[in-house]
Chains A and B, each alone.
Chain A
Amino acid sequence: MRLRTFLAAGAVASMAMAGAAQAEDMTIVSWGGAYSASQMNAYHKPYMEMNPGVNIINDESAAEAVAKLRAMAEAGNTTWDVVDVVASDAIRLCDEGLAMEVDVDSVLAAAPDGTPASKDFGDFLVTPCFIPQIVYSTTFGYRTDMVGDTPPKDVCAVFDLENYPGKRSLEKRPINNMEWALMCDGVAMEDIYDQLATEEGQARAFAKLDTIKDQVVWWSAGADTPQLLADGEVVIGSTYNGRLFKLIEEDKQPVAMLWDGQVFDLDGWIVPANLSDERKKRALHYLNFATDTQRLADQAKYISYGPARASSAPLVGKHATLGIDMAPHMPNEPKNMSNTLLYNYEFWADYRDDIDAKFQTWLAK
Chain B
Amino acid sequence: MANGENVPGPILAADGRPLRQSLARALRLQKLRALMLIAPLLIFILVTFAAPIADMLFRSVENAIVPDTLPLTVAALEDWDDASGQPPGEKVFAALRRDLLAAVAAKAHTKLGSRLNYEQTGVASLLRKTGRRVKRMEEDGDLAAQFAEVHKSWADPETWATIKRFSSAYTSGYFLNAVDAKLGATGIEARPENERIYIFLFERTLLLSVVITVACLLIGYPVAFLLATLPMRTSNMLMILVLLPFWTSLLVRTSAWKVLLQQQGVINDTLVFIGLVADDGRLAMINNQTGTIIAMTHILLPFMILPLYSVMRTIPPSYMRAAKSLGATDWTAFWRVYFPQSVPGIGAGAILVFILSIGYYITPELVGGTSGTFISNRIAYHISSSLNWGLAAALGVILLVVVLVLYWLYDRIIGIDNVKLG
Which A residues fall within an 8 A CB radius of B? 63-64, 66-67, 70, 92, 94-97, 167, 172, 217-218, 220, 231-233, 346, 349-354, 356-358, 360-365
Residues B174-202 near A (CB distance < 8 A): 194-197, 200-201
The answer to whether the Cβ of B329 comes within 8 Å of any Cβ in the partner chain is no
Judge whether B172 is part of the interface by a CB distance below 8 angstroms.
no
Query: Interface-forming stretch among B33-41, B112-120, B235-243?
Result: B112-120
Are A353's CB and B388's CB within 8 A? Answer: yes
Closest to B131 in A: A95
What's the minimum C-beta distance from A96 to chain B, rounded to whole angstroms? 6
* CA of A365 to CA of B370, assembled, Å: 9
Contacts of A358 in B (CB 8 A): 194-195
How many angstroms from the CA of A251 to the CA of B117 in the assembled complex?
44
Complex: A351 Cα to B383 Cα, angstroms: 18
Q: A67-B383, A95-B128 are in contact. Are A357 and B113 (CB under 8 A)?
A: no
With A95-B114, A97-B110, A353-B118 as known contacts, state yes or no: A361 contacts B125, CB within 8 Å. Answer: no
Q: In the bound complex, what is the Cα–Cα distance between A361 and B200 (angstroms)?
A: 9
A363 to B194, CA, bound (A): 11
Instruction: Please determine whether A363 and B370 come into contact, CB atoms closer than 8 angstroms.
Output: yes
B370, A231: Cβ atoms under 8 Å? no
A353–B267 alpha-carbon span in the complex (Å): 39
Contact A360 B125 (CB under 8 A): no
Query: Mask for B201-218, Cβ within 8 A of A = 1, else 0?
Result: 100100000000000000
Known: A97-B108, A218-B369. 19 other contacts (CB 8 A): A66-B385, A66-B387, A67-B385, A67-B387, A92-B114, A97-B110, A167-B263, A233-B264, A349-B117, A349-B125, A349-B128, A350-B123, A351-B122, A353-B386, A357-B195, A360-B378, A361-B194, A362-B194, A364-B204
Task: Name A95's contact: one of B113, B121, B263, B378 (CB within 8 Å).
Answer: B113
Residues of chain A within 8 A of B113, CB atoms compared: 95
B191 CB → nearest A CB, Å: 8
Residue contact B387 to A92, C-beta cutoff 8 Å: yes
**7 closest Cβ pairs, A-B complex:** A95-B110, A354-B121, A67-B384, A361-B197, A363-B370, A97-B107, A357-B195
Report the separation of the CA atoms of residues A172 and B370 in the bound assembly, to the nearest whole angstrom: 9
- Asked if residues B125 and A346 are in contact (CB atoms below 8 Å), the reply is yes
Say if the beta carbon of B297 comes within 8 Å of chain A. no
Most A CB atoms within 10 A — which of B113, B117, B369, B387? B387
Q: Is the CB of A218 within 8 A of B370?
A: yes
B51 to chain A, nearest CB (A): 13
Q: Is the CB of B383 within 8 A of A218?
A: no
Neighbouring B residues of A365 by C-beta, 8 Å = 200
CB distance from A171 to the nearest CB of B (A): 12
1/0 contact trace for B230-274 toward A, CB 8 Å? Answer: 000000000000000000000000000000001110000000000
Tell me the chain B residues, 142-177 only, with Cβ under 8 Å from chain A.
Answer: none
- Asked if B264 contacts A232 (CB within 8 A), the reply is yes
A-B contact pairs, 20 of them (CB 8 A): A67-B385, A92-B387, A95-B110, A95-B124, A96-B110, A96-B114, A97-B108, A167-B263, A172-B370, A217-B369, A218-B287, A232-B264, A350-B121, A351-B121, A353-B118, A360-B378, A362-B194, A363-B370, A364-B197, A364-B371
Query: Is B420's CB within 8 Å of the partner chain A?
Result: no
| Across-interface contacts of B125 in A (CB, < 8 A) | 346, 349-350
B residues less than 8 Å from A361 (CB atoms): 194-197, 200
A350 lies within 8 A of B124 (CB): yes
Q: Which residues of B contact A66 (CB under 8 A)?
A: 384-385, 387
For the side of the interface on B, what is the size category?
A: 35 or more
A352 in contact with B386 (CB, 8 Å):
yes
Which A-chain residue is minimally distant from B384 (CB atoms)?
A67
Distance A67 CA – B196 CA, assembled complex (angstroms)? 25
Complex contacts, A95 vs chain B, CB 8 Å: 110-111, 113-114, 124, 128
- Given that A94-B110, A95-B114, A232-B264 are contacting pairs, would A364 and B386 also be in contact in the complex, using a CB cutoff of 8 Å? no
Does B365 touch A at the CB level, under 8 Å? Answer: yes
Q: Which of B85-117 contact A (CB under 8 A)?
A: 107-108, 110-111, 113-114, 117
Whether A353 pairs with B264 at a CB distance below 8 angstroms is no
Residues of A within 8 A of B370 (CB): 172, 218, 363-364
Min CB distance, B32 to chain A, in Å? 30
> With the chains together, A173 CA to B373 CA distance in Å?
14
In whole angstroms, what is the CA distance A231 to B264 when docked?
A: 7
> For residue A232, which residues in chain B have a CB less than 8 angstroms away from its CB?
264
Question: With a CB–CB cut-off of 8 A, which chain B residues contact A217?
Answer: 287, 369
CA distance A362 to B386 in the complex (A): 18
CB distance from B151 to the nearest CB of A (A): 11
User: Measured between alpha carbons, how far is A172 from B196 in the docked complex, in Å?
Assistant: 18
Interface residue ranges of B322-365 to A (CB < 8 Å): 365
- Tell me if A349 and B371 are in contact (CB < 8 A): no
A363 CB contacts on chain B under 8 angstroms: 370
Whether the Cβ atoms of A96 and B387 lie closer than 8 Å is yes
Most A C-beta atoms less than 10 A away, residue of B200, B264, B370: B370
Q: How far is the CA of A357 from the CA of B196 in the complex (A)?
A: 8
* Complex: chain B residue closest to A67, CB-CB: B384
B47 → A minimal CB distance (Å): 13
Inter-chain CA distance A232–B279, complex, in Å, is 13
Contact partner of A360 (CB less than 8 A), chosen from B123, B197, B262, B388, is: B197
Chain B 125-139 interface 0/1 with A at a Cβ cutoff of 8 Å (1 = within): 100100000000000
Q: Which of B372-406 contact A (CB under 8 A)?
A: 373, 378, 383-388
CA of A64 to CA of B385, assembled, Å: 7
Assembled-state Cα–Cα distance A362/B385 (Å): 19
